[in-house]
A and B are shown apart, each in its own frame.
Chain A
Amino acid sequence: MLIETENLSYKYPRGKDNALNGINVTINKGEFTAVVGHNGSGKSTLAKHFNALLLPDAGVVTVDGVETANQGQLFNIRTKIGMVFQNPDNQIVGTVVEEDVAFGPENLGIAPDEIARRVDKALATVDMEQYRKRAPHQLSGGQKQRVSIAGILAMNPECIVLDEATSMLDPKGRKELLQAMTSLNKSGTTIVNITHFMEEAAIADRVIIMKDGNILLDGTPREVFADREILLNAGLDVPPVSRFVKEIAGLGLEINDNVISEQECVEAIETLLNR
């Protein structure tokens, strides 16, 4: 396991209630997890505990066996757990794409030729090599977020936490970013995607539903989407495709109503029509 929280509680200095109430969660190496919740559910607060941006008021967070409260290991923890934020404009430091990707490795004091190798590799991974000399403001939102991912990849992380990284993107940019996440996960990087889009939860291996600082559900997308009542209670809903086939099934038609992706929905409708 990579990240483990034990009875993690946290309250913001000016907050009324606890943002997190005794969270116990384990993120394993190589997993693709989506953390979903309504605004104020504590999902971003949880994410900020994964790389020691916030330290628990009570309980313990460990990354690869190291406690995040251990200040001496801060660089080590932040190198292992990279983070991509919501606003694509506010996390790019360099005036040129490749300089921004090099920013993390520079901070770690890595030798220049090794940095060059890492920058090449990271840009190739997110498919942004042809933009390496561009200025950030010449890129689209999705491209900027891919540059941010490359900046983290260049630090050779174990895990990337995306804190609502898709929420400011247009549908095209979001699709690009989700593809990047899936392919990174296939090559072995642990992904934690914090989001409020259920469609994004569907492509993860594991979904954690949060409400009011508690974990409501934790399981595969199929398991989680099965319980629509709990989701509605958390201010969420199953993805539109799942709802759609459920409605068709409600009309008395024989359709596979256990559907979580567009692909499965298309297949289900095809089998229905061929019957």
Chain B
Amino acid sequence: MLKDITIGQYYPSVSFVHNLDPRTKLLLSFVFIASVFIARPYNIGYAIIILMTGALYIISKIPVKMIFKGLKPIIPIIIFTVVINLLFLNGEIVEIRWIDGETVPLRWWIFKITYEGINYAVTIIIRISCLIAGTSLLTYTTRPMELTDAIETLLSPLKKIKVPVHEFAMMMTIALRFIPTLIDETDKIMSAQKARGACLDNGTLIQRAKALIPILIPLMISAFRRADELALAMECRCYNGGEGRTKFKQLRISARDMVAASVMILFLSLVIIVNKFNIGWFLV
């Protein structure tokens, strides 16, 4: 059962975005994040951002429902910030006019609903949603290994100031390599403990947490043993750190990456211009 989980959130498909160089995708994600932060809710900036997010998903051939899948875990955070902003932000208090002409300000005890609060709440919803949707796209369209490679190459200038970039990337690779192996092993240990009468599925929370100890300890010990053997095998294959190492899979920038970069820079410029001249403010 544990074996079926996927590592990362890679969504296999063949699309323009999937075929981009991972470095391009990583850098352009930052461009996208910058655009989301630059855009303001008082003009058509947010409309552009939302349209762009949708367009990117369509080009990547990722179903739109994946956006919501990505957003699910952060819904509590969004709701929390929205409620706090809605109820506590200072400003002009919203008044409701009853049918008989009497106006009532929306205020009760320490809570109040202001125009600024509503404005800010909407901004947060759009901003966080677009941010998560845009960055999830990076992990949907890029294999974890490609991402590791991209990070290693992009950070390689830091090697000059003794940042262990290669070692970090190697650790990531080995972690990714061993996740399925360790999951498999967890499964086996769980079965073994169940066969000895361990009760893993019921009881109070504390009882269940305690029941995990006989699973985690053998798992840890075996992980250390594996690490030891792997180190020996790597030594046998002449591994000696990143120095003088070549790469089998070369990352290549193609025309495709140029097109993608141009589009994203155009998009960023558009957002900046819209923000600067407040284009379309009358529509909002």
Nearest Cβ on chain A to B153's Cβ, whole angstroms: 14
B residues 64-82 touching A (CB-CB < 8 Å): none
Q: How far is the CA of A76 from the CA of B37 in the complex (A)?
A: 55
| A92 contacts partner chain B, Cβ-Cβ < 8 Å | yes
Q: Is the CB of A53 within 8 A of B177?
A: no
Nearest Cβ on chain B to A172's Cβ, whole angstroms: 20
Q: Is the CB of A78 within 8 A of B233?
A: no
Q: How far is the CA of A111 from the CA of B244 in the complex (A)?
A: 11
Q: Is the CB of A107 within 8 A of B238?
A: yes
| A130 contacts partner chain B, Cβ-Cβ < 8 Å | no
Q: How far is the CA of A137 from the CA of B144 in the complex (A)?
A: 16
If the complex has contacts A99-B248, A112-B250, A137-B181, are A90 and B233 also in contact, measured as CB distance less than 8 A? yes
Contact of B173 among A82, A95, A152 (CB under 8 A): A95
Q: How far is the CA of A220 from the CA of B32 in the complex (A)?
A: 70
Nearest Cβ on chain B to A121's Cβ, whole angstroms: 14
| A109 contacts partner chain B, Cβ-Cβ < 8 Å | yes
Q: Is the CB of A95 within 8 A of B226?
A: no
Secondary structure dominating the interface of B? helix
Nearest residue, chain B, Cβ from A94: B177
Please, what's the 1-or-0 string for B228-268, where 1 marks a CB less than 8 Å from any CB in chain A? 01101111111110001111111000000000000000000
Q: Is the CB of A107 within 8 A of B240?
A: yes
B181 proximity list for chain A (CB < 8 A): 89, 136-137
A112 proximity list for chain B (CB < 8 A): 246-250
Nearest residue, chain A, Cβ from B180: A137
| A105 contacts partner chain B, Cβ-Cβ < 8 Å | yes
Q: How far is the CA of A151 from the CA of B230 in the complex (A)?
A: 14
Contact of B248 among A75, A78, A95, A116 (CB under 8 A): A116
Q: How far is the CA of A92 from the CA of B180 in the complex (A)?
A: 13
If the complex has contacts A53-B232, A75-B238, A83-B236, are A137 and B246 also in contact, measured as CB distance less than 8 A? no
Q: Is the CB of B229 within 8 A of A87?
A: yes
Contact of A91 among B145, B173, B233, B249 (CB under 8 A): B233
Of listed B237, B238, B240, residue having the most chain A CB within 10 A: B237
Please, what's the 1-or-0 string for A68-109, where 1 marks a CB less than 8 Å from any CB in chain B? 000000010011001101010111111110110011111111
Nearest Cβ on chain B to A226's Cβ, whole angstroms: 36
| B167 contacts partner chain A, Cβ-Cβ < 8 Å | no
Q: How far is the CA of A89 from the CA of B226 in the complex (A)?
A: 8
| B96 contacts partner chain A, Cβ-Cβ < 8 Å | no
| A115 contacts partner chain B, Cβ-Cβ < 8 Å | yes
| A135 contacts partner chain B, Cβ-Cβ < 8 Å | yes
Contact of A79 among B230, B238, B246 (CB under 8 A): B238
| B176 contacts partner chain A, Cβ-Cβ < 8 Å | yes
Nearest Cβ on chain A to B109's Cβ, whole angstroms: 57
A108 proximity list for chain B (CB < 8 A): 238
Q: How far is the CA of A148 from the CA of B162 in the complex (A)?
A: 33
5 residue pairs of the A-B complex, CB under 8 angstroms, read A78-B237, A91-B233, A95-B173, A95-B176, A112-B249
In the complex, besides A94-B177, A136-B177, 4 extra interface pairs with C-beta distance below 8 angstroms are A53-B235, A53-B236, A79-B238, A89-B181
